Structure 1
Amino acid sequence: MTIKTAINALGLLTLVTFGACAAEQVSQQQAQNLQSTGIITVSGAGGSPMDQQARLAEKADAQGAHAYRIIEARSGNSWHVTAELYK
């Protein structure tokens, strides 16, 4: 790989990284200053809490939300998380 190709690849990677705008998790106190836009749920079997948060953020992004707050979480053989979305 030439240096020019490596620089171009790095530039494209930077654009993709900074172009992504993922919804972030907020606390109840932070949410008081935001406008609610709806509720989402995700559920599944297995996976870590980080996987669950990633799925929440992905679903919030798809709905056009900038932030979300978890309002319910259950686990056992499977898990279920409900979150409120905010602008």
Structure 2
Amino acid sequence: MNVKTTLAALSVLSALSFGASAADLVTNEQAQNLQSAGTVSVSGLDSSPMTIRQALSDKADAQGASKYRIIEAYNNGNYHATAELYK
């Protein structure tokens, strides 16, 4: 029972931490009317796609971007992703 409670709490905290990020993920269509502000990359993560999105969002936020779009992502033993930033 304790393991189930711990897993449920971690799931909720993970969702909350992802939702608290300042930079929002946008689609290709949404990005068409936005001005590019550079790119950021993350690599070497052996984690989940959600962790990668959070890492990209954190880097986008640190660069002052309000939105980002993932332009490259692959897993070759470790995850790598690149995102275009928008102000």
Whole-angstrom CA distance in 2 between matches of 1:66 and 1:49: 20
Please list the CA deviations of residues 9-52 of structure 1 after superposition, one character each: whole Å capped at 9, or x if unmatched.
xxxxxxxxxxx661010001000111100011001231100000
**TM-score (normalizing by structure 2):** 0.74
- Mapped to 2, the partners of 1:52 and 1:22 lie a distance apart of 15
The aligned residue for residue 54 of structure 1 is: 54
Structure 2 spans left out of the alignment, 5+ residues: 1-19
Partner SS state of residue 64, structure 2: coil
Alignment of 1:1-80 (within 5 A): 22-80=22-80
Higher Rg: 1
Query: What residue ranges of structure 1 are gaps of 5+ in the alignment?
Result: 1-19
Partner SS, residue 37 of structure 2: strand
Percent identity reads 57
Please state whether the residue corresponding to 2:42 is helix, strand or coil: strand
Corresponding residue number in structure 2 for 1:85: 85
Instruction: Give the Cα–Cα distance (whole angstroms) in 2 for the partners of residues 39 and 55 of structure 1.
Output: 13
Which of structure 1's runs of 4+ aligned residues deviate more than 2 A? none
